[in-house]
A and B are shown apart, each in its own frame.
Chain A
């Protein structure tokens, strides 16, 4: 079985400060890891993914995430937060096997609030 834990329901940060949204995972074998963002009443928007290679992955809108195999973590980061980053963030994992149709397992989501 695979699972994702997002330990914080909400993260508050001041605009201009760095932000971190935490994610840990459990999966058999190598993981494929993803971050998505959801704005109110909208679907999920893809931010970035880790499949293989460099542990530091850069994605859309200045976001990045670091894959840490020993800690089974994939924390989302941004050096300088914007008010417009305020949204619901989901971490997701699937088994790292070739071929499509593999299910994603999502975390419970972390609400990010960036204040002026």
Chain B
């Protein structure tokens, strides 16, 4: 149990386009989901906390207008990178919280912006 999926697993896009990443909890409901960014050989950086039915809470320094988060249901959160630029290229990982204490992570999405 506690399976989280992400789609797509990788995406290549042109600079200036928008990209949507989906995060789904497959066998449990998650009131709270989290979005992280990971740079090569580094730890995870929390970008935002996503709560079902309400606005996401962004970490300091994360542009909310650039990284749009929608948590429309208890099993789906989406991250849209708007007007992507090469510096947005990264590995994006989501997690879903089960039982109010444990986060379960998706497999990640590799974004490359040309």
User: Which residues from chain A sit less than 8 Å from chain B, CB to CB?
Assistant: 32, 34, 36, 41-46, 49, 51, 90, 98-101, 103-104, 106-109
B108 touches A42 (CB 8 A): yes
Chain B facing A: main interface SS? strand
Binding site for A on B (CB under 8 A): 2, 4, 6, 31-32, 34, 42-44, 46, 49, 51, 91, 93, 95, 97, 100-108, 110
Q: A34-B102, A36-B105 are in contact. Are A108 and B43 (CB under 8 A)?
A: yes
Q: Say yes or no: A100 contacts B97, CB within 8 Å.
A: yes
Residue of B nearest to A94 (CB): B101
Q: What's the least CB distance linking B90 to chain A, in Å?
A: 13
Knowing A100-B31, A101-B51, A107-B43, the reply to whether A43 touches B101 (Cβ < 8 A) is: no
In the complex, A42 Cα to B5 Cα: how many Å? 11
